[in-house]
Structure 1
Amino acid sequence: MDFDTLVHQPTRLQIFAYLYRHDEAAFSEIVDELDLTEGNLASHMNKLAEADCVDVEKQFVDDSPQTTYRLTDHGRETFEDHVGQLEALIESLDE
């Protein structure tokens, strides 16, 4: 079974799951909730954006910059495919 390393990497898997569950989230929220450094999150989000898995929206809220992330349709499908592979792996262990 070949896992997609874009999703399977532990930090990115957490990011995928968080965005899948919450629909969208601000950069600072993800940093706090997943206990990541800003640099670590930025690096992973760049990879996800380059792979067309997240949409990035930058805006000003109360005169402060805010970056919000949302899974693209491709990102949702990629995550669901990965979860399906994990479920298939678990099922194969029962046989």
Structure 2
Amino acid sequence: MDFDKLVHQPTRLQLFAYLYRHGESSFSDITEELDVTEGNLASHMNRLEDADCVDVEKQFVENKPQTTYELTDHGREKFEEHVGTLEALIESLEE
């Protein structure tokens, strides 16, 4: 059973799960909710963006930069496939 390393990495797995559940989310909300540093989050989000797993929107709100992220259809599929792999692993252990 092979895990997708892009999704399985612990911080990215949290990011996938958070965005899957919450939809579009701001950079600041994610750093606060998941207790990750800004640099760590930016690094992981760049990797997810490069893999076409997240859409990134940058805009100014009240003269302050705001970045939001949302899973792409491809990102949702990758997360669902990973959850399916984990469920299959659990089922195989119960046999």
Which bracket does the TM-score occupy, shorter chain normalised?
over 0.9
SS of the residue 1:36 aligns to: coil
Instruction: Provide the residue aligned with 2:68 in structure 1.
Output: 68
Deviation digits for residues 53-78 of structure 1 (CA, Å, limit 9, x no counterpart) = 00000001111000000000000000
Instruction: State TM-score, norm by structure 2.
Output: 0.99
* 2:17 is equivalent to residue 53 of structure 1: no
Distance across 2 between alignment mates of 1:22 and 1:83: 17
Instruction: Provide the residue aligned with 1:35 in structure 2.
Output: 35
Instruction: Provide the residue aligned with 1:13 in structure 2.
Output: 13
* Unaligned segments of structure 1, at least 5 residues: none
Q: Percent identity?
A: 79
Report deviation, 1:81. Answer: 0.2
Deviation digits for residues 32-55 of structure 1 (CA, Å, limit 9, x no counterpart) = 000000000000000000000000
* Unaligned segments of structure 2, at least 5 residues: none
Instruction: State TM-score, norm by structure 1.
Output: 0.99
Report deviation, 1:80. Answer: 0.2
Instruction: Provide the residue aligned with 2:2 in structure 1.
Output: 2
